[in-house]
Amino acid sequence: MQYSEEKVILNNGSYMPSIGFGTSLIEGKECILNVKQALEAGYRHIDTASAYENESYIGEAIKESNIPREEIFITSKVWKDSMGYEKTIESFNKSLQNLGLDYIDLYLIHWPRNNDKNLNIETWRALEDLYKQGKVKAIGVSNFLKHHLDIILDNCEIVPMVDQLEIHPGLTRKETVKFCKENNIVVEAWAPLGKGKMLQNEKLVEIAEKYNKSVAQICIKWCLQNGIVPLPKTTNWNRMLENKDVFDFLILDEDIDFINSMSFFAGSDMDPNKS
């Protein structure tokens, strides 16, 4: 992925907008309003999951927006307690019904199961079949590190198209990102702003002032210039607009390198190896 591209080509030839809108913890009427605002602000990539319990609200927002379905890229995910072949198919169909859609653009395994490798494989087999049936346009994983991906690649017909990981300054997942790029798997970043904790970091504030941008814009642009699709989340209209307004500048290599080298200082503390 090139930093200037507003769309990314997946390994099956399909396109995905290079900035998504995250919806975790946004529910009810607020979710309908925020997703409609995001669509009005120009977002065409909406990320949800069955575990977020907001798919029906997102479906309502899409319906009310009157934007043609083919212009919107929707991601959902199967949760840990619904893994396994049959349960995954059931969960997918429920998500499809909740969203009120005929297909989902990207469907992911939300978390790996460390205590049951076969469960990961069977769940992936379900995703492959959903993909072959045309019910989903692309398939992938979320929170899978390299060793989790190895198991999928050793037992799959279809290579994952996406791996969604917690990535932000101080948490770069270098080994997994390198592995994904080598295998033509697009990396997405959830919590690219570190759940807001990045915004007060003194070094990032200095860099943002240098470019006359916000720290959020720096974090999002840093993802893009590293070939990663960021999924920022906000319920604030002005920040929605700001988070998308990152295509008019470049972060210099020296600053990219500095951010790449930052030690962990904030994040969710959610460990894929303990799922």
pLDDT of residue 5: 60
Work out the mean pLDDT of the chain and round it to a whole number. Answer: 96
pLDDT of amino acid 46:
98
What amino acid occupies position 161? M
The C-alpha torsion from 176 through 195 and 244 to 228, rounded to 10°, is: 0
pLDDT above 80 (res 155): yes
> 73-78 and 186-190 as β-strands: parallel, antiparallel, unpaired?
unpaired
Q: Return the structure tokens found at 188.
A: 């997405």
Given the residues 3, 15, 43, 52, select the one marked as catalytic.
52
Q: What interhelical angle do 146-154 and 174-182 show, nearest 10? A: 30
Helix H or strand E segment including 136? strand 136-142
Residue 264 clears pLDDT 90, i.e. is over it: yes
| C-beta atoms surrounding 237 within 10 Å | 14
Q: Is there a contact between 116 and 146 (Cβ–Cβ < 8 Å)?
A: no
Percent of the residues in the chain that have a pLDDT greater than 70, as a whole number: 98
Return the minimum-mean-pLDDT range out of 17-21, 85-89, 220-224, 263-267: 263-267
Least confident of 105-109, 115-119, 135-139, 193-197: 193-197
What is the predicted pLDDT for the residue at 6?
87
Residue 52 appears among annotated catalytic residues: yes
Distance separating alpha carbons of residues 223 and 19, to the nearest angstrom: 10
Predicted local confidence at residue 242, as pLDDT: 98
Whether 154 shows a pLDDT value over 50: the answer reads: yes
Question: In one letter, which amino acid is 242?
Answer: E
Q: Are 111 and 140 in contact (CB under 8 A)?
A: no
* Predicted local distance difference test score (pLDDT) of residue 4: 40
Q: How confident is the model at residue 208 (pLDDT cuts 50, 70, 90)?
A: very high
Summarised one tens digit per residue, pLDDT across range 87-108 is 999 999 999 999 999 999 999 9
pLDDT at 197: 81
Tens-digit pLDDT profile for residues 227-246: 999 999 999 999 999 999 99
Among 84, 81, 77, smallest CA distance to 58 is for 77
pLDDT of residue 117: 94
pLDDT given for residue 105 in this prediction: 98
pLDDT of 1 strictly over 80? no
Residue 275: per-residue pLDDT: 79
Given a cut of 70, whether residue 2 has pLDDT beyond it is no
d(CA 193, CA 217): 9
Residue 211 has pLDDT above 80, yes or no: yes
